[in-house]
Amino acid sequence: MACQFIEVDKLRDTLRESLGKDDKRQEDISRPDVLTRIESVIQTIVISVSEGEAPVLRVMNRSSWDNVRFHESVGLVQKTDVPVRTLRCDCPSSATRFALTLKLLSVIYKLVQSDSYATKRDIYYNDPQLFGSQTTLDSILDDISCMLKVPRRSLHVCATSKGFISGDLCYLEEDGTKVDCSSSSTAVPVSSNVNGIRNIVSSAKFILIVEKDATFQRLLDDAFCTRLSPCIIITGKGVPDVNSRLMVRKLWDTLNIPVFALVDADPYGIEIMCIYKYGSRSLAFEAHSLTVPSVLWLGLLPSDIQRYRVPEETLIPFSQADESKINSLRTRDYISCQPAWEREIETMQRLKQKAEIQCLASIAPHFLTRVYLPNKLRYGGWI
């Protein structure tokens, strides 16, 4: 069995040799520092009011690709000269956002001051009519984190996790609860306080990020973690939430083992993999804590469609949205610096077809877990 990990072990050794060259993880901000930064914002508002001026808040524009740059060893990072949006209390278009930002700053201040935590859902359902929607609250929280230059976990506001994890892994939650992820048939929800996890114990050879929950469940049902033991599998159930990304980063920082991605051979699967690897535009200010640039694409590769003679009837024709997405991907710096990825994307665009991971079941019911993935890992079939 040991021979199946020869290439994975070689990769692990190579990755460990390259550690520390540009790895600059964002450090947590102390509670007094967070309070001081909030007080500074409020002081500016008080001064404006005392001088008879309408107070304003300045928040970074996090929605434009022009405001991020690509750093090969970190991912998408925020530029230093990002334009700001001005929220004015005397402007009808921004007065509500201004008031909600102050309200959330007040909530955060009390949480940090009392060293207590709340989930975003707790805050929203405490006054749902005030915020209007959970999405609005989430966006304002990100604006505050960016404005204060404080990672979200230091604001004492947690998000409910949607991801799951399984495999050769044990750790302690911040409250001392022991979590064992080694059950072969069930998975453990990703912690809502990843930063508080400690005493991580694992002998895993690799981490496998699985794009979709259905595929993740299939791996569990086929006892993948037992068949290819020791390993860790994790899913963010589609576009990953922050906690799933934090968990992958924490495991990489602690274990320094290869991280592979298993995604659909379509433009959206590739983009989800890039979020784990290089980060997202809207959270570029937290890139150092959320990205794992060493992530490798294990499958499903577009070239695998022909290599494994996937039945034509299981393939899906490109839509106009797919074409637009793939054209967008090809303009991004983090794709152009990966020639092997570029070739795979060109193959997909030439075929004008996409394939879901589940299509491998049309070859044989257990082809994914008993042939495809074991061979990929044994022979180094990643890019």
Sign of CA dihedral 65, 284, 383, 377: negative
d(CA 278, CA 275): 5
The residue type at 179: V
Q: How many angstroms separate the CA atoms of 47 and 79, rounded?
A: 29
Q: Taking each helix axis from N to C terminus, what angle separates 31-50 and 95-113, rounded to the nearest 10 degrees?
A: 140
Examine the residue annotation and report whether 125 is marked as an active-site residue of this protein.
yes
C-alpha separations of 218 from 224, 243, 245 in Å: 9, 22, 22
Q: Which amino acid belongs to residue 255?
A: L
**DSSP assignment of 78-141, as one string?**
E-TT--EEEEETT-TTTHHHHHHHHHHHHHHHHHHHTT--EEHHHHHHHSHHHH-SHHHHHHHH
CB atoms within 10 A of CB 195: 17
What span, in angstroms and rounded, lies between the C-alpha atoms of 65 and 62? 8
Asked whether 293 and 75 are in contact (CB, 8 A), the reply is yes
Give which of 164, 144, 149 is closest to 211, Cα–Cα: 164
Both structure tokens of 27: 């450090």
> Considering 117, 125, 276, 308, which one is annotated as catalytic?
125
Residues contacting 38, CB < 8 A, separation 6+: 105, 108, 109, 112, 148
Which are the catalytic amino acids? 125
